[in-house]
Amino acid sequence: MRLFALLTAAIFLSVSGPASARGQPQGATSDSAQVVEATEAFRAALECGDSTAVAGMLLPEARVLESGGVETRREYLAHHFRTDHAFLSALSRRMQSRDVRIDGNAAWVSTTSRMQGTYDGRAMDLSSAELLVLRRRAGEWGIAAVHWSSRSRE
């Protein structure tokens, strides 16, 4: 009986497919997975302070918007990258939501998180929002724009 239940479940899953893929063009699920993978790799490289990896993920024309300003890829790597690394590595992050949208060779990922910890001697409890815009070139997703904002939860 248990084998029958397992076979029935396997057949149902193979026919129905993942719920997130319903109504999407074929290949959209794998595109979504690749976009999420690129997003997570970017965050991990920032948290680890790997400027070479971050530079490789940011497209040459990338723009980073934060703290009321806009920086080119080169400006970001020379300025805010170091403080962003220190900030992200000092705080814990709990993702609250993520929305991935894909239109051909463009994708955007909006993520909200709660970030907590101590940075620069101050205890922090923040609501954070991140928007990444990605472009696919030669089959690889690269980051064309980043926008971060956060506010105190107090």
**Confidence bin at 28 (pLDDT 50/70/90):** low
pLDDT digits (tens, 9 = 90+) for 93-112: 999 999 999 999 999 999 99
**27-152 architecture in CATH?**
Roll (3.10)
Query: What residues contact residue 129 under an 8 Å CB cut-off, 6+ apart?
Result: 110, 111, 112, 113, 148, 149, 150
Q: Are strands 140-152 and 58-66 parallel, antiparallel or unpaired?
A: parallel
d(CA 145, CA 133): 5
State the virtual CA torsion across 111, 115, 120, 121 in degrees, nearest 10.
Answer: 170
Range with the poorest average pLDDT among 19-23, 38-42, 48-52, 92-96: 19-23
Token reading at 9: 């479940």
Q: Where along the chain do its domains lie? A: 27-152
pTM of the model: 0.79
pLDDT at 29 > cutoff 80: no
Name residue 5's amino acid: A
**Confidence bin at 154 (pLDDT 50/70/90):** confident
pLDDT of residue 27: 52
In the predicted model, what is the mean pLDDT of residues 20-49?
A: 79
d(CA 9, CA 31): 26
